[in-house]
Amino acid sequence: MTNTGSDTIAILGGTGDQGLGLALRFAKAGRRVVIGSRKADRAVAAAEEVRQAVSEADVSGHENSEATLRAPIVIISVPFEHTASTVKGIKDVLTEGQILVSMAVPLATAVGDGAVRTVGIWQGSVAELVQSLVPTGVEVVSAFQNVSAHRLRELDQPVECDVVVSGTKAPRARIMELCRLIPGLRGVDGGPLGNARIVEEMTALLIGMNIRYKLPAGLGIRFTGLPD
């Protein structure tokens, strides 16, 4: 049975740069973190890396399905080309009330082109593709696409980035609150899931700007004029 009453956060693809960065940050904030991977041994190794960086971390590593069973919030941090297969692989263990966070971007690298362009998706966005694959009652939220992996891993520095969060109202609010756990990160209400396509497209723009301005650590985005 899914531990839907806990504060545990599962991160599938937590062995990658951005997923591991989120795992480090959430662990440092005191949340229990479960790292998932297609291969359990890789997840276990990533969990050990988190413990080395955050001595007080409550973190474990498991195969994706087992990780999904252990948390009410599941962040999918895998490249676009692996997103559908990852979701299909955990579909049978997803339960009503779970929140699935989509952070993939349909970069053209998936078809051998450059990272400064995107490819079209029939559903409109990766997040909406994910929504089409999950059982009824599982909520999909779009978030974290534009957060620099490099800055996430600089644990002594604030991230300084806004996160546009899209989805239905209650799950959206829950993920916005999650953003508050990371210093410098601010969740911004991005409205319904259909708006995810706009945010995903922004990522390719930011990658291009990182190249043009020679910013290996990656830039962040801020929206001005919002209430505190």
Domain presence at residue 4: no
Q: 53-82, pLDDT tens digit by residue? A: 999 999 999 999 999 999 999 999 999 999
Domain presence at residue 141: yes
Domain presence at residue 3: no
Domain presence at residue 224: no
Domain presence at residue 74: yes
Q: What is the DSSP string of 97-159?
A: T-EEEE----BGGGGTS-TTSB---TTSSHHHHHHHHSPTT-EEEE--TT--HHHHH-TTS--
Domain presence at residue 22: yes
Number of domains present in the structure of the chain? 1
Q: How much is the pLDDT for 14?
A: 79
CATH number of the domain residue 36 falls in: 3.40.50.720
Q: Which domain holds residue 132?
A: 9-212
Tokens 């413990």, residue located: 51
0.75 surpassed by pTM: yes
